[in-house]
Structure 1
Amino acid sequence: MSQSAEQVAEQIELPESAQRVAGLLAELGHDRPVVMLPATGKTSAEAAAGLGCSVAEIAKSIIFRRVEDDAPVLVIASGSNRVDEAKVAARVGALGKADARFVREKTGYAIGGVCPIGHAVPPVMLLDQDLFRYDSLWAAAGHPHAVFNLTPQQLQQMTGAEVADVALGAAA
């Protein structure tokens, strides 16, 4: 039988970036621990496999660069959805590619571990409306192996992100 998230978290010491996220979550009064996955959670499929949940229950963080002012744009999407950049751009302005250096500078996190909270530069944020189909979500906690559990409502409250239709192929 598999171990609980709490048991796994107790067995593995958190890397510095995940400790920072755990501290932020504690400050917000979040009562669930940061969990270290035994294998990478860099992709939604890897994280879901390690957690025993569906890919759709992974709240993946995707960073874009807004062209007009170089601002970071964070889209938190269901792991099963591809983000429709045209829908995002229609809400926030023209988008450019965010390379690894941009992501690290603007968020403070490496690609594959971008947490929805605690960014170096506060991003423009959109939250995928499809995440609200699920009772429980998992989001990156600052490291490719670190995640934390929360509800869609908690995610929206923590981030203040606008809920939007961001999925490719969904109705506009």
Structure 2
Amino acid sequence: MSNATDTFAACLRGLDVPGQVVEFSTEVPTAAAAAEQLGCEVGAIANSLVFTADDEPLLIIASGAHRVDTRHVARLLGTGRIRRATPEFVQAATGQPVGGVGPVGHPRPIRTVVDRMLADHPVVWAGAGTKHAMFPTTFEELVRITGGLPAEVEKP
């Protein structure tokens, strides 16, 4: 395992997450690439997407089958406009690269929303801090380890 993957795996152990980090020989920076590599539905991929809301980072963990409706989420959270973060902002806020952001392991806690549609899958796969690694988890565990708000991220 790489140093970044080792560090992420240690973070998961500290949170009592039983799932083991899986490293791939190629990058899996998109939900489609990850689903193909894992042999699962794209909806079972938990995309960790970083946005800015009121100049603060906002992590939305969305099913790979969904597009985030930022206006809907802004209304839900009572924030100003939500914008996609730049790669530099993502790296600074999470310590992880775009395409490899995990739900945890960031320098400081990030306000998080977890897509309720991930609950439809008994196992979901989330990024593990690099573009080459993921780990199995559940919707409930994502909510627990992130302190995230379960919500619909697509406009109903």
TM over 0.5: yes
Residues 1:48 and 2:48 aligned together: no
Stretches of 4+ moved more than 6 A in 1?
Answer: none
Shift of the alpha carbon at 1:89?
1.2
Cα separation, 1, equivalents of 2:25 and 2:37: 7
In structure 1, what is the equivalent of residue 48 of structure 2?
A: 61
* Aligned residues: CA RMSD: 1.1
In structure 2, what is the equivalent of residue 132 of structure 1?
A: 119
Residues 1:85 and 2:73 aligned together: no
Candidates 74, 91, 96, aligned match of 1:104: 91
Identity %: 36
Cα separation, 2, equivalents of 1:82 and 1:117: 21
Residues 1:141 and 2:89 aligned together: no
SS of residue paired to 2:68? coil
Cα separation, 1, equivalents of 2:141 and 2:114: 12
Residues 1:166 and 2:156 aligned together: no
Question: 1:29-81, CA deviations, whole angstroms, 9 ceiling, x for partnerless residues?
Answer: 22221001232110000000000111000000110011x3x210000000010
SS of residue paired to 1:61? strand
Shift of the alpha carbon at 1:118?
1.5
Unpaired segments of 5 or more residues in structure 1? 1-13
Relative to the length of structure 1, the TM-score reads 0.86
Relative to the length of structure 2, the TM-score reads 0.94
Cα separation, 2, equivalents of 1:79 and 1:97: 16
Q: Is contact 2:105–2:129 with CA below 8 Å preserved after alignment?
A: no
Cα separation, 1, equivalents of 2:110 and 2:18: 25
Give the aligned residue type for 1:84.
D
Cα separation, 2, equivalents of 1:163 and 1:89: 14
Residues 1:71 and 2:56 aligned together: yes
Computing the radius of gyration from Cα coordinates, the structure with the larger value is 1
In structure 1, what is the equivalent of residue 109 of structure 2?
A: 122
SS of residue paired to 2:119? helix
